[in-house]
Structure 1
Amino acid sequence: MHSTVSYLDHASGQNRTVTLVLPHEADIDQGRLSVTAPAGAALLGLSAGDVFSWRGDDGRVHELTVLRVSDPATAARP
């Protein structure tokens, strides 16, 4: 929880960074993505270099490549 994930959205070609949070903390405009959202749930447990795809509500296939994962628990260690 509270890991920060940077990924490449293949459809838009844009890099994006989000922090995975509990539903009550979510605010996508602030870069906080709920772990219960489809993309948030899909990002759980992935590592840099992993690729995943899913079919959105609009019927389009979305594909993302994880670029970096920062875990706050290990980042604080010396």
Structure 2
Amino acid sequence: MMRAEHQSDPTCSCHAPTLMSTVGISGHFANYCLFDVESHEEMHECVSGLPMFGFISTQVEALSRHPNAIGR
């Protein structure tokens, strides 16, 4: 669930239409974000546009849909 300040801030990356999901990692000060983008360039724009980008470490990995996934 997004906090109220994120919902009301139009510059927050949470409002980007490409951000599908953000989850916290139990026991760690970390998050995983799932983006739906069309290109590497769009992904770079999303990540480098984050307000804290200069102060965080990021790792980007591509995902693909599993052939046996439910609801494919």
Normalising by the residue count of structure 2, what TM-score does the alignment of the two structures yield?
0.27
Quick check: which one's helix share is greater? 2
Q: Which has the larger radius of gyration?
A: 2
